[in-house]
Amino acid sequence: MPQLEALIFDLDGVITNTAHFHFIAWRKIANDLGFDLSEADNEKIKGLSRMDSLIRVLEIGGMSFEEAKLVELATAKNEHYQTFIREMTPEDILPGMADFLEQGKAAGLKLAVGSSSKNAPIILEQLELDTFFDTVVDGNGVTHSKPDPEVFVKAAAQIGVNPTAAIVFEDAMSGVEAAKAGGFCCVGVGDPAHLHKANHVIPNTVGLSLDALKEQLNFQ
């Protein structure tokens, strides 16, 4: 049985529900261009980088634009999205997550964030978690975004832990694929229909127990 040494958390949709703000902001871009986005469409773009998300959104609307217009649309989406995240407080940490983070810390585990978001530093500051983690790797520090494993591999390297000794928590299909491609054990947070590639899926973060998870996933 391997020894558990680290927990690596996706940010949007796992520590806090910014996933919903992303959806509202992308939907506004789509609506302004004359089409709509459904929750099902949103599942396919969750976890992707800003530009990869925009390209998927435009595909849904059957549209494509040149680079300058893409940058303009991505900037407009981000400005709208930032109006929501600037209002966030520690109350926006998902239920059960603050307690679970403390369980991890009390057990002496390394704790890291692996997020595609370039807004991760602002969000962590709003949640008053900016100094909590041993390392944060976000969209500002990677070349390849999820489903590429780079973000998680880099986080594990920065805390000096082998992927086989860590659990990654993810709410997005692309993020589960990234974790698995990096050789991590992955807990999906959300609907098993989207997250079936994870080692284990939990519906939400309520009542998360480190001891129960270790037993479920065969960690010491």
* Residue 172 contacts Mg ion per CB under 5 A: yes
Of the candidate spans 5-13, 21-29, 84-92, 131-139, the one that interacts with Mg ion by CB under 5 A turns out to be 5-13
Assess whether 148 carries a catalytic annotation.
Answer: no
Nearer to ligand B16, 75 or 216 (CB): 75
Q: Are 123 and 85 in contact (CB under 8 A)?
A: yes
Of the candidate spans 46-54, 86-94, 127-135, 183-191, the one that interacts with ligand B16 by CB under 6 A turns out to be 46-54
Site for ligand B16 in 187-216 (CB under 6 A): none
Single-letter amino acid, residue 114: G
Assess whether 134 carries a catalytic annotation.
Answer: no
* Least gap, CB of 1 to ligand B16 (angstroms): 30
Residue number of the CB atom closest to Mg ion = 13
Tell me which residues are annotated as active site.
10, 12
